[in-house]
Structure 1
Amino acid sequence: MLRTSQVRRVLVAMTAFASVAAWQAAPAAAAGPLKDITNRYVGSAVAANPLASQADYRSVLTREFDNVTPENEMKWAVVEPNRGQYNWSGADAIVNYAQQNGKSVRGHTLVWHSQLPGWVNNLSAAELRTAMQRHITTAMGRYKGKIRAWDVVNEMFNDNGTRRQSVFQQKLGDGYVADAFRWARAADPAAKLYINDYNTEGLNAKSDALYNLVRTLKQQGVPIDGVGIQAHLATQYGFPGGYQANIDRFAALGLDVAITEADVRVQLPADAAKLNTQASYFKQLWDGCHAVARCVEFTTWGFTDRHSWVPGTFPGEGAACLFDTNLQPKPAYTRINP
């Protein structure tokens, strides 16, 4: 998802937090870290800067989670802003942290229409195909054996179920998805390979299109291992209908399912009633995953309102994470982990 100024995010999140100051005094949850109460991978998106500079952020991350997803640090525009010139510093920092602290890593993301370096859009079809293969091979090769799962193709559908007319779709056609997975398997045969998208939590046109695609890919022998359901929810729209049934049908194809980017935003200012609804949504996401054996991962898109993409992307909304800006657990956390 597109990110905005960290300063703006913090200021807006702090405003939201002030309205729910009572939660600042909440005691640390007593039931044990999230990673110790489930047999799923439980993770969070992570930003390299606070990981390096904020001891409390690093401490809570280390205590609560056993999986990390680089928030932006592995995206193409970050690692290769200029053709042939690479910057792996942020990605390396997160992978090194994970290895030093016994965490698994979800690689995010290889083929995506957003956060692309500008030079990619100017390539011919043949050049784009070569560049895409090289990008997949280079990124996965660098971290071969260090990354458990990769989001190989990200957000390829429109909400009505049609294919997004990305540069990949326009210049390479429908086959780019299968090609990406084949190249990914060759680059790291041990990594689990996922397709990932948002607004696919419930039964709808978009999740139907995703289901039909992955079923076809499986029938064609394309090496796809799983489906990532992002789960960026907002309380004002209601909880997605058919959530568990949707997970069930993907699992029935012989695929793993991962909740990859969960957060639940509320309209600001937050109050006790809104946070209670948020907690109910998180609990439904958590329980629905745990009800399906092949739902193997529950990852949130950030764990603290101190660092969240939501306020900068959805003006007037925020407070979307399990922990507040002071890293105290919110009702959503204690609903999952009573």
Structure 2
Amino acid sequence: MRNQKDVLEKVLDKIENNLKNDVNADSLSDDFSMSSVHLQRLFKQTFKQSIGAYIRSRKLSASIADLLYSNLNVQDIALEYGFSFEQAYILSFRRKFGFTPGELRRNRQLVKITPPLTPFAQTSMYKNHFLVGSIINDKYMDETYFGIIKSHFNAVTPENNLKPLLLTSNRGGAYNWTYADKIVNRTLENGIPVHGHVLVYHDMTPEWMTKGTKTEAEDNLKNYITDVITHYNGRINSWDVVNEAMRDNLTAAETSGDWKKCLRTDSSWHKALGANYVETAFRTAREAAPDVTLYYNDYGLEYPRKADAVCKMINDINNRYKNTTGQTRNLIEGLGIQSHYQIKYFDENQIRSSLKKFTALNIELSISELDVATAEHETGEGKDIVMSEHDAAVQAFIYARLFRLYREYAAYIKRVTMWGIDDYNSWLSAGNPCLFDRYLIPKKAFNAVFNPEKYCDIV
């Protein structure tokens, strides 16, 4: 059985690498020294579709990039993908997508393509190393996007739906569980684990939670954490308890001293409770859910001073927790490393240095929010553009280098989560930061993640 699985993986790779060549069941059976009948039977039993239909669907799906981004005429594209004449291609295209190649070029519709059957999260390259995740949100619950999640990812983080402002807007325990539950339950029903994001945050927190006396604010913090983590107990097994507590632009003098003086003081939680709110949040979460893995999550951790401050905080809280409780288990058991990079400022050595530093914490690491933008930081959806060949190549190179680096540290990394599926819906859409374009066509960046060694030296 194992040999059959290996053969099918190689068959899928062969198909994917030969979409513009004459590939069919007969040629594949010759390549892998088996009868054509046996290969077709094995393929259909495993994937519930014929090998011929799959090859045709992949050729049609792959041709969309040429229709949208090249100046080739339809006849040349048809011939390039192995169709004997233009009309056969047009008819096949219309049957699959509901419109002709020419109509796609004119109207730029969203296309539901057939993705490769070998999802990179499940390939031998990653399946024994770490999970490869995606965010999910209201838009991505649509079947077109959710199908990509099911095909390519094996972990999910709700982008906003579990943040305090969306779960509770009123004082007194009135929670808005309905849509968050729908997202969590649908994901779990498809066999994909959910990481919770986030319980305590300086942003997207209802104003009432931090108002009143210090005692009232602390009660609000504890009650909220307990209610939410208990509600999802058994369904969500890891949580970002505190998000982005550290300040930016720390000085050497600040990071050499007390980590509490490095916290952002503009946080409403810091204003209400002081620096101790961080440890209070983690202790409350641990008491409410002893079996859940508790994470601290932050951005800019490639910068040495911020990384040092976070390491000090985690070590201090964990040591005090173990000393005061007699526990051998850490309180903060995971570090979420937000990784929002720009091609202009990418520094692999800096990232490597931080990863090495974090391994000394002896806790779980996750690359919690990964994207690689080709433009300066600009938030907002729907600002994506057609990428230049240069930018697409550099972006692919960076993704390849990152995933090769993550494999080096796979013994410490639990999960690598992409912060967006497609460029159009990305929070940084102006930088085209994702693996799929707005039409859900895999970009060079996708191929680089799928096969990093091929792209690691190409710029």
TM-score range (shorter-chain normalised) is: 0.7 to 0.9
Q: Write the letter of the residue equivalent to 1:337.
A: F
Is 1:169 equivalent to 2:286 in the alignment?
no
Give the 3-state SS of the residue equivalent to 2:236 in structure 1: coil
Normalization by structure 1: what TM-score?
0.86
* Greater mean alpha carbon deviation, residues 137-146 or residues 42-51: 42-51
Number of residue pairs aligned between Structure 1 and Structure 2: 312
Runs (4+) of structure 1 exceeding 6 A deviation are: 25-29
Could you tell me which runs of 5 or more consecutive residues in structure 1 were left unpaired when the two chains were aligned.
1-16, 312-316
Deviations for 1:128-171, whole angstroms, at most 9, x for unmatched residues?
Answer: 11111111111110110111210000000111242111121222
Q: Which residue of 2 aligns with 1:47?
A: 137
Aligned with 2:428 (options 310, 319, 325):
310
Q: From 88, 105, 119, give the equivalent of 1:33.
A: 119
User: Which of the two has higher C-alpha Rg?
Assistant: 2
Residues in 1 aligned to 2:116 and 2:167: alpha-carbon distance in whole angstroms: 40
2:152 aligns with 64
Q: How does 1:126-145 map to 2 (within 5 A)?
A: 126-145=215-234
Could you tell me which of 330, 333, 337 is aligned with 2:443? Answer: 330
Deviation at 1:225, TM superposition (A): 0.4
Structure 1 match to 2:196: 107
Q: CA deviation at 1:241?
A: 3.8
Shift of 1:326: 1.4
Residues 28, 286 of structure 1: alpha-carbon distance in 2 compared, 3 angstrom cutoff? farther
Q: Give the alignment partner of residue 219 of structure 1, picking from 319, 341, 366.
A: 319
Structure 2: gaps spanning 5 or more residues: 1-64, 72-76, 82-112, 251-261, 322-329, 376-383, 452-459
Q: Does the Cα contact within 8 Å between 2:187 and 2:194 map onto a contact in 1? A: yes
Distance 1:323 1:196 in 2: 25
- Structure with greater helix percent: 2
CA-CA distance at 1:108 after TM superposition: 0.3
CA RMSD of aligned residues (A): 2.3
Are residue 230 (structure 1) and residue 341 (structure 2) matched? no
Classify the secondary structure of the residue corresponding to 2:374.
Answer: strand
- Aligned-residue identity in percent: 33
Q: Equivalent of 1:82, from 165, 170, 177?
A: 170
Specify which structure has the higher proportion of strand: 1
Indicate if the aligned counterparts of 2:164 and 2:206 stay in contact, CA closer than 8 A: yes
Residue 260 of structure 1 is aligned with which of 340, 348, 368?
A: 368
Q: SS in structure 1 opposite 2:191?
A: coil
Q: 2:69 — aligned with what?
A: 21
1:257·1:296 contact (CA, 8 Å) conserved in 2?
yes
Deviations 1:152-194 (CA, angstroms, capped at 9, x unpaired): 0000011124211112122212221111111111222121111
The one-letter code of the counterpart of 1:326 is: Y
Equivalent position to 1:209, from 274, 294, 309 = 309
Larger RCO of the pair (alpha carbons < 8 Å, separation 6+)? 1
**TM-score calculated relative to the size of structure 2:** 0.64
- Partners of 2:281 and 2:234 in 1: CA distance: 19
CA distance in 2, matches of 1:176, 1:90: 29
Change (3 A) 1:50 1:217: same
Please name the residue that 1:148 is paired with.
237
Contact 2:311 2:361 in 1 (8 A): no
CA distance in 1, matches of 2:239, 2:233: 11
